[in-house]
């Protein structure tokens, strides 16, 4: 199997889209300037559904924005983020996909204590790789990300090759569960049914917090679309070929042969995954989610450019450490559990879970028979060691596995190779009853999380960490 394939049934995206009025054109997420930022996590009122009688939702935000401000930083430059928590509960921020110092990784309970209500924390790091990343809450992520605590993070290449704003758009896509009044459905947060199945599926998609936005693009001008899937659990099916989109990067990492046409369809964009596309549109087009009935959730109006069009420089691949061929620390990871899955032999905090135990602990998934390995690392290696992970998904669901602090090479899927090489990612999809081999150089000392980015799955067992010692 070359690509992960989807065997789990997905629920329909919310119906009724046809009855809705299109929103007026949106502006992209706001940008900060310089190398120092202030972020405040705080509640905000926001309308998620465009129907005139839809209610506002109480969401959580950074700086009162849904989606949070985009942080634009420079490769190799020191960045300081002064963070204040104005939420009623503790939180922390993770810089997803950045290979930064462990103590800045923002994982509450592993790399830092959560920041209490009213508390502050200063994040300071240097981003080594150019590309498209994002940041999000990493304390009770299943709830805090669902409530809106995320934003985009763009690392501009050190050589300064960037496109003007009109030709560079960040699209952070989120899947919300709305109630009958069009409000964020808070009552169903944490539903055991979601945790043991495919995670919290929403019924409404937004882009940068906006419903059905229309974005203006310059006609025939090379334009970069940076797509981020910020959904708790929904995998988005996209077909870039429908609008002539070519692939520039996956998970922030530019492909050596970019721009590349995708040889298959659809492109599955799992939770936390990113894809950067190059378009040179001649006419208006839409971005559709294709897992069920095509659902156009973002429109592009293509107009004669207002200013001179900038030439496009293909982004250069970042320099990532190549895994050694032979000297490898090999680790087999078996993923089990979940609805319709193997539930025998799952341990949580030393207790073998039975039917009642699963319900009581809300732990439904396991790595090598252990749910939510918290006390000890999955493995520990010396800095510089190449790690090979053989991941078998013996569950009835697809998962989106994320390694913190490292990008890895996808080397093989089900013994059939991969669709392209090298394929660097920080989050990979592994289909039901499929296996994937990844490898990376563990070059960053510290405690690094390895978890399913379907945030309900992480909370209910698919969560572990490994250690890199100096
Ligand atoms: Cu995007 Cu553990 O995180
Ligand atoms: Cu999962």
Q: Are 152 and 228 in contact (CB under 8 A)?
A: yes
Sheet holding 214-218, edge to edge: 214-218, 295-303, 285-289
Give the number of the ligand closest to the Cα of residue 149: 1
DSSP-based three-state secondary structure for 264: coil
pLDDT of residue 3: 62
DSSP 8-state symbol, 63: T
* 401 CA from centroid of ligand 2 (Å): 7
Q: What is the pLDDT along the chain (470 residues), one digit of tens a residue?
A: 456 665 443 333 343 333 232 222 223 333 444 489 999 999 999 999 999 999 999 999 999 999 999 999 999 999 999 999 999 999 999 999 999 999 999 999 999 999 999 999 999 999 999 999 999 999 999 999 999 999 999 999 999 999 999 999 999 999 999 999 999 999 999 999 999 999 999 999 999 999 999 999 999 999 999 999 999 999 999 999 999 999 999 999 999 999 999 989 999 999 999 999 999 999 999 999 999 999 999 999 999 998 899 999 999 999 999 999 999 999 999 999 999 998 889 999 999 999 999 999 999 999 999 999 989 999 999 999 999 999 999 999 999 999 999 999 999 999 999 988 899 999 999 999 999 999 999 999 999 999 999 999 999 999 999 999 99
Q: How many CB atoms lie within 10 A of CB 325?
A: 8
pLDDT of residue 5: 63
Q: b/e for 442-470, b at 16 or more Cβ within 10 A?
A: bebbbbbbbbbbbbbbbbbbbbbbbbbee
Strands 168-176 and 347-348: unpaired
Give the number of the ligand closest to the Cα of residue 401: 2
Cα separation, 119 vs 282, in Å, equals 50
Q: Are 401 and 450 in contact (CB under 8 A)?
A: yes
Residue entry with tokens 């790789």: 129
Chain mean position to CA 317: 20
- Atom 3 in ligand 1: residue holding the nearest Cα: 96
* 358 CA from centroid of ligand 2 (Å): 16
Please state the length of the chain: 470
pLDDT of residue 68: 96
Q: Which two tokens stand for residue 91?
A: 């939180």
pTM of the model: 0.93
Q: Is the CB of 74 under 6 A from ligand 1?
A: no
Q: Is the CB of 272 under 6 A from ligand 1?
A: yes
* 16 CA from centroid of ligand 1 (Å): 32
Q: Which two tokens stand for residue 245?
A: 């989109």
pLDDT of residue 420: 84
Among 269, 379, 400, 406, CA closest to 335: 400
pLDDT of residue 178: 97
Q: Are 65 and 150 in contact (CB under 8 A)?
A: no
Which residues share a beta bridge with 295?
289
Q: Which two tokens stand for residue 125?
A: 């790091």
Q: Is the CB of 139 under 6 A from ligand 1?
A: no
* 138 CA from centroid of ligand 1 (Å): 7
């Amino acid at each position: 199997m070359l690509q992960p394939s989807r065997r789990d049934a997905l629920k329909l995206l919310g119906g009724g889209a046809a009855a809705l009025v299109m929103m007026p054109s949106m502006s992209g997420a706001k940008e900060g300037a310089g190398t120092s930022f202030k972020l405040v996590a705080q509640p905000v009122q926001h309308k998620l559904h465009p129907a005139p009688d839809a209610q506002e939702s109480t969401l959580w935000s950074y700086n009162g924005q849904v989606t949070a401000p985009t942080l634009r930083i420079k490769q190799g430059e020191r960045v300081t983020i002064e963070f204040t928590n104005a939420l009623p509960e503790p939180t922390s921020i993770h810089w997803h996909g950045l290979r930064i110092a462990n103590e800045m990784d923002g994982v509450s309970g592993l790399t830092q204590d959560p920041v209490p209500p009213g508390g502050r924390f200063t994040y300071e790091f240097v981003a080594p790789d150019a590309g498209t990343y994002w940041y999000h809450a990493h304390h009770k992520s299943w709830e805090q990300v669902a409530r809106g605590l995320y934003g985009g993070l763009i690392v501009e290449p050190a050589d300064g090759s960037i496109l003007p704003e009109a030709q560079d758009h960040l699209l952070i896509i989120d899947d919300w569960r709305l109630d009958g009044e069009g409000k964020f459905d808070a009552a169903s947060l944490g539903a055991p049914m979601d945790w043991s199945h495919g995670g919290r599926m929403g019924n409404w998609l937004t882009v940068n917090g906006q419903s059905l936005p229309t974005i203006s693009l310059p006609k025939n001008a090379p334009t970069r679309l940076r797509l981020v899937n910020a959904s708790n659990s929904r995998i988005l099916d996209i077909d870039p070929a429908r609008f002539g989109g070519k692939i520039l990067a996956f998970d922030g990492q530019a492909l050596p042969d970019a721009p590349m046409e995708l040889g298959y369809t659809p492109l599955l964009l799992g939770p936390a995954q990113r894809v950067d596309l190059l378009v040179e549109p001649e006419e208006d087009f839409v971005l559709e989610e294709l897992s069920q009935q095509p659902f156009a959730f973002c429109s592009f109006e293509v107009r004669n450019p207002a200013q001179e069009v900038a030439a496009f420089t293909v982004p250069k691949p970042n320099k990532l450490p190549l895994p050694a061929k032979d000297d490898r620390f090999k680790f087999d990871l078996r993923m089990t559990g979940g609805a319709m899955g193997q539930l025998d032999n799952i341990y949580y905090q030393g207790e073998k879970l039975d039917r009642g135990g699963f319900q009581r602990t809300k732990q439904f998934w396991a790595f090598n028979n252990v749910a939510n390995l918290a006390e000890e690392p999955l493995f520990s290696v010396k800095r510089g060691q190449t790690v090979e992970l053989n991941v078998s998904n013996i569950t009835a669901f697809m998962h989106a596995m994320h390694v913190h602090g490292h990008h890895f090479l996808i080397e093989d899927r089900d013994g059939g190779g991969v669709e392209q090489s090298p394929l660097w990612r920080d989050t990979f999809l592994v289909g039901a009853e499929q296996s994937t081999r990844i490898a990376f150089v563990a070059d960053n000392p510290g405690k690094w999380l390895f978890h399913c980015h379907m945030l309900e799955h992480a909370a209910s067992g698919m969560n572990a960490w490994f250690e890199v010692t100096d």
